[in-house]
Amino acid sequence: MDRFWPLPEGYPVKLIQVAGTSGKGSTCQFLQAGLSEYGKAGCYVKPHVFDYTERFIISGKFVDYGEITEVWEKTVKPFAVESSLRGDPWVLDHFEVNLLIALHLFDRHHLDWGVVETGIGGRYDPVTALDVEATVLTNVGKDHEEVLGKEHWQRALEKGGICREGVPLFTGDQDERSLAVLSAVCDDVGAPLYRIAKKDVEAFRAVIARIQPGGDEESLLESDHQVWNAALASTVIGSLVKKAKVQQFARRFLAARFVGRFWKIEKGVYADVAHNPNKTQALAQDIEARFPKTKKVFVVGISGPRDPVEVIGPLVRQAKAIVVTTAGFKGQDPESVHSRLRDAYPDVPIHLALDPQTSLSVAKRLRNPGETIIFTGSTYMIDQTLNRDAKLRLLNGTFGWREIRQRPPDVTSGWDQQ
């Protein structure tokens, strides 16, 4: 940062850091959309589902390939090469390169606001090295325990590491265990703590209902957990932009879209990235509200060191059948996942589709008219089953194929793994 944006001027864009077990990408999207009402705003989210450009959003649109490539080739890559040739003890990794590209894109577009998603945890994430106007923690749940700790308080402490002196922390977490840790951390570093309550969410929901009484199937705000994310973003905007009024920017929330979040593929077929138990619990509540009287066929894939039974468990009660397929990069062996789920849920028909490109046709054969198909689980599974670009699908599924050494099987080094 000192090399590209030296003091005293420093980095010119006001930044907001967002962390959390689930909902942080959506919250980034809502913040970007709402702040665009009062200036020029963008966000950096990760990982991408289909295409690398999904990570970089300016004024609601993906940055084009040419501009991303130019920033890499002319600015970030020369710095990385120079650093390596100097023998610096720390050379930029993949995640820091992505972050630097995002920061340069924000600067090039003369943004007023940039919203940046944290990877795993927060305390040791590169984003936490940045100066920010506010920090946001959506929630603390159960994921990445091999990195963040088995106990809830450990994970809360790691995510609470995003706090800075004098910088407000906003959270939507309702778990008293989380709030006890966050309160102590904020007291220790001198950071104001703001939490939203159910009454704040209901007040925001009422505003949305007045703007769009009939709802919109395509809107993120049709999902209850997304209303919580949007209400949290609304509170942040109201605090940082003194002239902001929710009635002004709520329309932008209604128009916000996020790749892979309750994405309608075709009639009766949807995809939603829900790769941990907290997310599948939210998805289960969502689809029960949307399709209360129909059984569902789920297509699933699991990545990383997660327990398939825990991840898929919240969905089982609504399942007519489950189709297990590969999650590609970092994916667990689908045959092993299939075996675990069959043992755990013997009353549910569980099928295996080793070729992810056949999973949709398998699911369609299993459903009856009027029933719903839901693709969920790993981001990488969504890509391998639904990415229409065969070249991108191949590259995404074989990430790191040039490496001489095999990646370690525990897959604990990826800061934006899904």
**Nearest-5° Cα angle at 53, 55 to 163:** 15
**Which two structure tokens, joined as six digits, stand for 45?**
């989210």
What are the boundaries of each domain within the chain? 14-255, 263-397
Q: Cβ neighbours of residue 151 under 8 Å, at least 6 residues apart? A: none
Q: What CA–CA distances, in Å, run from 339 to 220, 237, 328, 411?
A: 34, 47, 18, 22
In a structure prediction context, what are the per-residue pLDDT tens digits for the chain, which is 418 residues long?
999 999 899 999 999 999 999 999 999 999 999 999 999 999 999 999 999 999 999 999 999 999 999 999 999 999 999 999 999 888 899 999 999 999 999 999 999 999 999 999 999 999 999 999 999 999 999 999 999 999 999 999 999 999 999 999 999 999 999 999 999 999 999 999 999 999 999 999 999 999 998 778 889 999 999 999 999 999 999 999 999 999 999 999 999 999 999 999 999 999 999 999 999 999 999 999 999 989 999 999 999 899 999 999 999 999 999 999 998 878 999 999 999 999 999 999 999 999 999 999 999 999 999 999 999 999 999 999 999 999 999 888 887 665 544 444 544 444 444 4
CATH homologous superfamily, domain 263-397? Mur ligase, C-terminal domain (3.90.190.20)
| Summary count for the chain: helices (H), strands (E) | 16, 14
Q: What kind of architecture, by CATH, is found in domain 14-255? A: 3-Layer(aba) Sandwich (3.40)
Provide the whole-model pTM: 0.92
